[in-house]
A and B are shown apart, each in its own frame.
Chain A
Amino acid sequence: MLNETATRLQVGVALTDDFEAYVAARGPALLRLAYVLTGNESDAQDVVQDALSRALPRWQRITSVDDPDAYVRRMVVNAHVSWWRKFRRKESPVHEVVLPGSQLGADDETVTKVGNDELWAACARLPRDQRAAVVLRYYEQLSFAEIAALTGVAEATARSRVHRGLGALRTAMGVMGDDDE
Chain B
Amino acid sequence: MTMSEFENKLGETLAQRAEVAPSVAGLAEGARTRARRRRTTRIMAGASVAVVAMVAVPVGISALSVDDGGGVQVTNRPSVAGVPADWRWESWHDVEFAVPPAWGYGPLSQYCISSNSNPIVERPGGFSTQVACPKSFGYGVLVSAEGLAPDAEDATLYPEGATVSAATVEGVTVTAITADAQTAETITGSAASYPGADFYGCEAEVAVPALGDMAAGGDFARDAQIAVCRYEIGADGANLLGSEALTGDNIEKAWLGLDALQTGAGPNPEPGSCLPSSATEAVLLRSGGQDLAWVHYSGCSTHGVDVGGAVSRLNEQVMWTVISPNAGGFVSGGEVPLPKELRR
How far, in angstroms, from A54 to B148 measured CA to CA in the complex? 19
Contact A84 B185 (CB under 8 A): yes
**Contacts A87-B164, A88-B181 known; A28 to B35 CB distance under 8 Å?**
no
How far, in angstroms, from A16 to B192 measured CA to CA in the complex? 20
Contact A56 B32 (CB under 8 A): yes
In chain A, residues 152-166, which have Cβ atoms closer than 8 Å to a Cβ of chain B? 152-153, 166
Residue of A nearest to B146 (CB): A152
Contact A180 B2 (CB under 8 A): yes
In chain B, residues 283-325, which have Cβ atoms closer than 8 Å to a Cβ of chain A? none
Contact B18 A120 (CB under 8 A): no
Taking the nearest CB of chain A, how far is it from the CB of B91, in angstroms? 16
Residues of A close to B195: CB separation below 8 A: 57-58, 61
In chain A, residues 13-45, which have Cβ atoms closer than 8 Å to a Cβ of chain B? 19-20, 23-24, 27-28, 31-36, 41, 44-45
In chain B, residues 170-188, which have Cβ atoms closer than 8 Å to a Cβ of chain A? 171, 173, 175, 181, 184-185, 188
Taking the nearest CB of chain B, how far is it from the CB of A125, in angstroms? 13
**Contacts A81-B149, A134-B10 known; A178 to B3 CB distance under 8 Å?**
yes
Contact B166 A84 (CB under 8 A): yes
How far, in angstroms, from A33 to B152 measured CA to CA in the complex? 23
Is B340's CB within 8 Å of the partner chain A?
A: no
Taking the nearest CB of chain B, how far is it from the CB of A130, in angstroms? 11
Is B272's CB within 8 Å of the partner chain A?
A: no
What is the size, in residues, of chain A's interface with B at 8 Å between Cβ atoms? 59
Residue of A nearest to B10 (CB): A138
Taking the nearest CB of chain B, how far is it from the CB of A119, in angstroms? 5
Which range holds the interface residue count of chain B?
35 or more
Is A177's CB within 8 Å of the partner chain B?
A: yes
Interface 1/0 per residue, B147-163 and A, CB below 8 Å: 11111100000000001
Give the residue of A53, A134, A152 whose beta carbon is less than 8 angstroms from that of B31: A53
Is A103's CB within 8 Å of the partner chain B?
A: no
Give the residue of A31, A82, A87, A170 whose beta carbon is less than 8 angstroms from that of B21: A31
Is B16's CB within 8 Å of the partner chain A?
A: yes
List chain A positions with a Cβ less than 8 A from chain B.
19-20, 23-24, 27-28, 31-36, 41, 44-45, 48-50, 52-58, 61, 78, 81-84, 87-88, 104, 115-116, 119-120, 123, 127, 129, 134-135, 138-139, 141, 151-153, 166, 169-170, 173, 175, 177-181
List chain B positions with a Cβ less than 8 A from chain A.
1-7, 9-24, 27-28, 30-35, 38-39, 78, 146-152, 163-169, 171, 173, 175, 181, 184-185, 188-189, 192-193, 195
